[in-house]
Amino acid sequence: MEIRGKVAVITGAGSGIGRATAGRLAREGASVVVADVDEAGGAETVKQIESAGGKAVFIRADVTSEGDSRRMLETATAKFGRLDILHNNAGIATGIPGFPKAALAQWRRVIEIDLNAMIMGTWLAAPIMEIGGGGAIVNTASMAGLYPHPLDPIYGAAKAGIVNFTHSLAPWAAERKIRVNCVCPGIVDTPMVRKGVEAAVKAGYKSWAPSQLLQADQIADAVVKLIGDDSLFGCSMEVRPSGPRIVEPRPAPGSRK
Ligand SMILES: NC(=O)c1ccc[n+]([C@@H]2O[C@H](COP(=O)([O-])OP(=O)(O)OC[C@H]3O[C@@H](n4cnc5c(N)ncnc54)[C@H](O)[C@@H]3O)[C@@H](O)[C@H]2O)c1
């Protein structure tokens, strides 16, 4: 997919990975809908894009709300005339205390944002993209969805759900000319991680941050590759400090490829 002239919606674009992807897509010539619950963060992302000569608009949207999610996608068509790209990216970690001490409402919120809202975003965007002739969806999963994540099993479960949702949805989406892929970053230097490390240290845990953190721009590069490369369907892209690696889903036993 040629990114120039396309219209993208990015959730959680008021910070970290979402902001980096928004900036990168705008630099490549896409018009960007910056969606977030954080109004100040979203406004800052738009300011950065506009001052670099790009096109962006902010909408306050809680991705767990169907109404907000519909409005966020409608903003793309109302403001920029179409919807080609969705980066389902907003996410949270369980925080401290983690499982099993985290309150029921807290861990349900993690599943709601990190798994259910990404499914809902895809569910709402796919019909709009289909009418427009196709599109590309990238879900931000995590390495925590591919490998055990003892520090936050709830987060790991949500992200594993997104990985399998992405892999499993690919044939259905491809029939509608929509490519669905996910990016699985290692640990990235963003406010989410900085807050997590701070809280862990305060609670007496030893800091778990690895010596080599990824930068949000490295994840934005991977997202743009997943959007741009028309040969990628239903893939996960791991992003480690040593570089990105595509993981193709294994077909289920007895299934057609
Ligand atoms: N930072 C990492 O190490 C890392 C690694 C792997 C995956 N991820 C994933 O990357 C994504 C982005 O994380 P980040 O590190 O950039 O974090 P971040 O905290 O910097 O950004 C997340 C953004 O999502 C927004 N958000 C949270 N809940 C929302 C909601 N209900 N509706 C709309 N927006 C909401 C926040 O306001 C924030 O602006 C998340 O899905 C996260 O799980 C992060």
Pair 220, 23: CB distance under 8 Å: yes
Q: What is the pLDDT of residue 207?
A: 61
Distance CA 66, CA 74 (A): 12
pLDDT band at 109 (very low <50, low <70, confident <90, very high): very high
Residue spans per domain, the chain:
7-240
Residue 155 is among the residues annotated as catalytic for this protein:
yes
Distance CA 237, CA 137 (A): 13
Compute the distance from residue 240 Cα to the ligand 1 centre, in Å.
Answer: 18
Alpha helices in 52-176 (DSSP H): 66-80, 104-111, 117-131, 153-175
The predicted model gives 5-26 an average pLDDT of 98
- Rounded to the nearest 10°, the torsion over CA 28, 54, 239, 73 is -100
Q: Which CATH architecture has domain 7-240?
A: 3-Layer(aba) Sandwich (3.40)
Query: Token digits for 167?
Result: 């892999």
Question: Is residue 247 predicted with pLDDT exceeding 90?
Answer: no
List ligand 1's pocket residues with C-beta within 6 A. 11-12, 14-18, 36-38, 41, 61-64, 89-92, 113, 140, 142, 185, 187-188, 190-193
Q: Is 237 helix (H, G, I), strand (E, B) or coil?
A: strand
Q: What is the pLDDT of residue 107?
A: 96
pTM of the model: 0.96
61-70, 131-140, 237-246 — which is least confidently predicted?
A: 237-246
Q: Express each pLDDT in 37-54 by its tens digit.
A: 999 999 999 999 999 999
Taking residue 251's Cβ as centre, other Cβ atoms within 10 Å add up to: 10
Pair 232, 142: CB distance under 8 Å: no
Mean pLDDT, the chain, whole residue set: 94
pLDDT band at 254 (very low <50, low <70, confident <90, very high): low
Question: Is residue 256 predicted with pLDDT exceeding 60?
Answer: no
Give backbone dihedrals phi and psi of 171, rounded to 5 degrees, phi first.
-65, -40
Distance CA 205, CA 210 (A): 14
